[in-house]
Amino acid sequence: MVDDLPRAVLGFATGATPGPTYRALGTLVAAGEVDFTGVSVFLLDEYLGLGATDPRSYRATIRREAAGPLGVPDGAVFGPEADAADPQEACQRYEDQIHAAGGIDVLMLGIGRNGHVGFNEPGTPFNLRTHVTTLCDATRVDNARYFGSVADVPTYAITQGPATICDARRILLVATGAAKAPAIARALTGEVDEDCPASILRTHPEVRVLVDPDAAVGLGEHVRRVARLGEG
């Protein structure tokens, strides 16, 4: 893909799920097989109040674990300015930056146990663009491992909204592990509704979903049906 689009605009998620993908790409870069130097990277979300130099910020995490090893220059890594004096303005600026870059070509997503994508928690209106959001307790618990304790996890974040996410030309949703099975089953086989933010991806024409066997457990019959269609 990067060979096809040397100036691709990529959307990167944080969290544990995409780590192996970033590391595998880093191996290809180290071997000289792909070149990311012309690529730009847009973060999916960021904790409110954490500046880009805070090591716990998603901006610092993506630079350290993905963009840096891939050879994407720091100046080509964009994220919401979550420590801005006016977060609402920062949201609009981020939308403008994505637009000025020509939109996101490929957006990589993980999924929360409650079906969130980015930090769009259940109940987020599908038409929202980049916005300030309040994190669910379950999300703060899940992310406590990066902060030492739940109390230290920020309560608010800035996230690309469902409408921003769906503007990406292509989307890759990755889920691994049994803890994600209910969310994957709900997102892919339940109703498309705001109670399950990831379900909006079913309205997008270019989505690939990669799940390991544990995360696919709840898809049983559905996956078999798709496989049979593939054979036909």
Task: State the residues that interact with ligand GLP by CB under 6 A.
Answer: 13-17, 44-45, 110-112, 118-119, 139, 143
Q: How far is the CB of 122 from ligand GLP (least distance, A)?
A: 13
From the candidates 46, 114, 131, 194, which is the catalytic residue? 114
In the chain, where does DSSP find H-type helix? 19-30, 58-62, 68-70, 87-100, 137-142, 162-167, 181-189, 220-231
Question: How many whole angstroms separate alpha carbon 223 and alpha carbon 116?
Answer: 22
**Among this protein's residues, is 45 annotated catalytic?**
yes
Query: Toward ligand GLP, which CB reaches closer, 25 or 34?
Result: 25
Name the nearest CA neighbour of 16 among 222, 215, 149, 226. 215
Query: Toward ligand GLP, which CB reaches closer, 17 or 40?
Result: 17
Question: How many whole angstroms separate alpha carbon 108 and alpha carbon 82?
Answer: 21
Q: Tell me the backbone φ, ψ of residue 77, rounded to 5 degrees.
A: -110, 120
**Among this protein's residues, is 114 annotated catalytic?**
yes
From the candidates 121, 131, 143, 194, which is the catalytic residue? 121
Question: How many whole angstroms separate alpha carbon 115 and alpha carbon 66?
Answer: 24
From the candidates 81, 95, 105, 116, which is the catalytic residue? 116
Please give the distance of CA 8 from its chain centroid, rounded to a whole number: 17
Query: Toward ligand GLP, which CB reaches closer, 6 or 148?
Result: 148
**Among this protein's residues, is 121 annotated catalytic?**
yes
Query: Toward ligand GLP, which CB reaches closer, 8 or 108?
Result: 108
Distances (CA, A) of 210 to 6, 107, 115, 190, 191: 24, 13, 15, 18, 20
Q: Tell me the backbone φ, ψ of residue 176, rounded to 5 degrees.
A: -135, 145
Task: State the first-to-last Cα distance of the chain, in angstroms, to the nearest integer.
Answer: 28
Question: How many whole angstroms separate alpha carbon 181 and alpha carbon 59?
Answer: 28
Query: Toward ligand GLP, which CB reaches closer, 39 or 157?
Result: 157
For the chain, how big is the Rg over CA atoms in Å? 17
**Among this protein's residues, is 143 annotated catalytic?**
no
Q: How far is the CB of 159 from ligand GLP (least distance, A)?
A: 7
Active site residues: 45, 114, 116, 121
